[in-house]
Amino acid sequence: MSSLRFLHCADTHLDSPLRGLERYEGAPVEEIRGASRRAFDNLVSLAIEEGVAFVLIAGDLYDGDWKDYNTGLFFSRQMVRLSEAGIRAFVIAGNHDAASQITKVLRPPDNVRMFSTRAPESVVIDELGVAIHGQGFASRAVTDDLARHYPLASPGLFNIGLLHTSLEGRPGHESYAPCTLDGLRSRGYQYWALGHVHQHEVVTKAPWVVFPGNTQGRHVRETGAKGCVVVEVEDGQVCRLEHRAVDVVRWAAPAVDLTQCSTLDDVFDSVAAALVETVDAAQGRLAAVRLRLVGATPAHPALRAARERVVNECRAIAESVARGAVWLEKVAFHTRQTGSAEAAFARDDAFGELLRSIQGLGADAERLGALRDEVAELYARLPLELRSGDEPLDVSDHDFLENMLEDVRELLLDRLLSRGDAE
């Protein structure tokens, strides 16, 4: 074996719904809704342009059961494009597209190999000197270490392990198919193509253990460039790995410091400057932005009194400075009053302790799980129209609960600081 090039991706979540996003006149809803497909189209184009030998998809190709067959038809069309370029694809199921989750199926094109969900399988590509080993998820919640059942490396070949896993745990991701680096090393493979974690990460280079990240950010916690990795191999060893962006919508959450702002006009000038920087960083993509207005500022009372106007002024600014290149997903108010606020936080009494406790209120997985359990009974009593539709109240959704906690925290701080000023 001399040289080899392949593409590794994961977590494409085709046709994933983007929930909880504010809609307003001019918001590019359809453009956002089709982002996962357009990113996948870009990925296939990249594979063809780079002349890769094959594409690895390490789970969560789909976001769950198909609403209709159009999702499967779209994937088939993209695989036909690869086939016409002589490129094969190797796919495993993840927790979102586990065998138990998908009820509609289409037979994949001949160039696509879907690995078994019952036990690890191996595919040897003799002409490339490559062996690919993989197993998909049979059910959504796989808690066993699948990697320990993978076969040992095939001697004389470049061995790749295709696995959907949380590894030894990653913040914000469920612990599925957990495994250890030592366990992966024990298989003797040269490259582990992982999926499940949405942030790109080269875990180790001995051997190469890589999360490519997801191909398209789906919400404000998935900021920055999203895409895949292109891997080059020389004489049985990885010689180059490059992360390549394929996303079409770039998420950002800039913090606009309003400390020096005395009036709303000052605020809007600061917002305009922040949006210009954000558009530049998106490199020609649509920027989905959550503006975070922060700082102890003289403008805080005016912001508090005119929240609706401020939000819509920010939307108008986004349109004027970016001309359609920005979607203002949300304006989050995190400002506070100047002067007495610092003194209130420093108070050595129950009031000061309460303020500091609320300010440190975080939304970790354990707390969100407890909150979900506490409100489940109340949620079941809500009218059906609130629990269904395009933007339902969904207490099982991590982002919904996290945003709710954030809003409660800011409301409590604002109310208590105002009460403290009156004392």
pLDDT in tens, the chain (423 residues): 578 999 999 999 998 876 545 566 767 777 788 899 999 999 999 999 999 999 999 999 999 888 889 999 999 999 999 999 999 999 999 999 988 888 888 999 999 999 999 999 999 999 999 999 999 999 888 999 999 999 999 999 999 999 999 998 776 677 899 999 999 999 999 999 999 999 999 999 999 999 999 999 988 889 999 999 999 999 999 999 999 999 999 999 999 999 999 999 999 999 999 999 999 999 999 999 999 999 989 999 899 889 999 999 999 999 888 777 888 988 999 888 776 556 666 778 776 776 666 666 555 566 666 666 777 777 777 776 666 544 556 666 666 666 666 666 556 656 665 655 545
| Count of positions (residues) in the chain | 423
Query: Which segments within 319-407 are labelled E, that is strand?
Result: 326-336
CB 288 within 8 A of CB 33: no
Q: Name the β-bridge partners of 7.
A: 55, 230
Name residue 56's beta-bridge partners.
Answer: 8, 90
User: What CA–CA distance (Å, rounded) separates 133 from 150?
Assistant: 7
Residues with Cβ < 8 Å from 378, sequence gap 6 or more? none
Closest CA to 215 of 341, 394, 21, 46: 46
Conformation bin of residue 386: beta by default, left when phi > 0, alpha when psi is -120 to 50: alpha
Interior/surface letters 159-195, b for 16+ CB within 10 angstroms, e for the rest: bbbbbbbbbeebeebbbbbbbeeeebeebebbbbbbb
pTM of the model: 0.81
